[in-house]
């Protein structure tokens, strides 16, 4: 392998690297033969192998560089296809959920201490009365803080998975024209003849940063055409 195949090499010492371990990074030219030659050369070194899928994230988790919420956010960031999905992943990586979970854990430990103290001093007549109400207050506090996050998670799930929008209606009302306009290209055939669209036509779009699966359908009407009837039934 020619030395000119590698543009630069840098070494990042632990714990400053992504995984928290000593790491060497090669900056190379992007041609596939160059990358293949470099990998072939590196594979001859003893103990060196290709990383398994997700191994860098696993090592970062094991070394305390990331937690599970950050790992999941990283996966969402890698899989993001729109700007809103990217923003959602970045917000998750900022630690919003992690900070909330750490607060819940701390408050649950407080409740556990109160419960254990009741068990330890159960022979005292007023012990249950002293501990029960503070424990209930802590549980209500946690539930109240979880509720808005749970609602936000449902919205985030819609954004993560994308929305499916079905265009349905009678023939010749402009369903296929609307599909072409939103897609900004001729996806569906448009004509004045009713029943032109006979099958489902699906297009994946990025509308304002939101992932949308837009589906055009056959016009809903009574028809003797068996093929058109199948298209209508599929809507």
d(CA 162, CA 71): 21
CATH of the domain at 197: 3.40.50.300
d(CA 56, CA 20): 10
Residues 43 and 13 in one domain: yes
Name the nearest CA neighbour of 196 among 217, 182, 178, 222: 217
Residues 140 and 172 in one domain: no
pLDDT (0 to 100) of residue 17: 93
pLDDT (0 to 100) of residue 19: 93
pLDDT (0 to 100) of residue 220: 61
Evaluate whether residue 86 is within a structural domain.
no
Indicate whether 106 pLDDT > 90: yes
Separation in Å, CA 51 to CA 32, 100, 105, 212, 230: 19, 33, 34, 34, 48
Evaluate whether residue 74 is within a structural domain.
no
Report which listed range, 22-31, 148-157, 219-228, is most confident: 22-31
Evaluate whether residue 77 is within a structural domain.
no
pLDDT, tens digit, for every residue of 64-98?
999 988 898 898 899 888 888 898 888 888 887 88
d(CA 91, CA 84): 11
Give residue for tokens 């950050």: 70
d(CA 84, CA 105): 30
pLDDT (0 to 100) of residue 230: 55
Evaluate whether residue 54 is within a structural domain.
yes
pTM of this prediction exceeds 0.75: no
Count of domains observed in the chain: 3
Evaluate whether residue 215 is within a structural domain.
yes
Residues 169 and 200 in one domain: yes
Evaluate whether residue 75 is within a structural domain.
no
Residues 150 and 200 in one domain: no
Q: Which domain holds residue 201?
A: 163-233
């Amino acid at each position: 392998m020619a030395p000119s195949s590698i543009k630069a090499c840098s070494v990042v010492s632990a714990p400053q690297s992504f995984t928290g371990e000593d790491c060497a990074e090669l900056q190379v030219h992007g041609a596939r033969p160059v990358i293949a030659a470099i990998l072939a050369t590196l594979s001859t070194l003893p103990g060196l192998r290709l990383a398994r899928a997700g191994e860098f994230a696993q090592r970062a988790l094991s070394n305390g560089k990331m937690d599970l919420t950050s790992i999941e956010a990283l996966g969402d960031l890698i899989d993001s296809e729109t700007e809103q999905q990217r923003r959602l992943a970045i917000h998750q990586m900022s630690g919003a959920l992690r900070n909330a979970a750490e607060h819940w854990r701390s408050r649950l430990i407080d409740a556990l201490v109160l419960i254990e103290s009741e068990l330890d001093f159960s022979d005292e007549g007023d012990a249950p009365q002293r501990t029960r109400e503070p424990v209930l207050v802590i549980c209500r506090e946690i539930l109240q803080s979880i509720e808005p996050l749970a609602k936000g998670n449902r919205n985030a799930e819609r954004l993560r998975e994308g929305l499916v929008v079905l265009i349905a209606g009678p023939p010749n009302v402009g369903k296929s024209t609307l599909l072409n306009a939103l897609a900004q290209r001729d996806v569906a055939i448009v004509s004045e003849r009713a029943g032109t669209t006979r099958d489902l036509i699906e297009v994946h779009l990025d509308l304002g940063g939101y992932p949308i699966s837009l589906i055009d359908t056959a016009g809903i009407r009574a028809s003797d055409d068996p093929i058109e009837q199948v298209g209508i039934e599929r809507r």
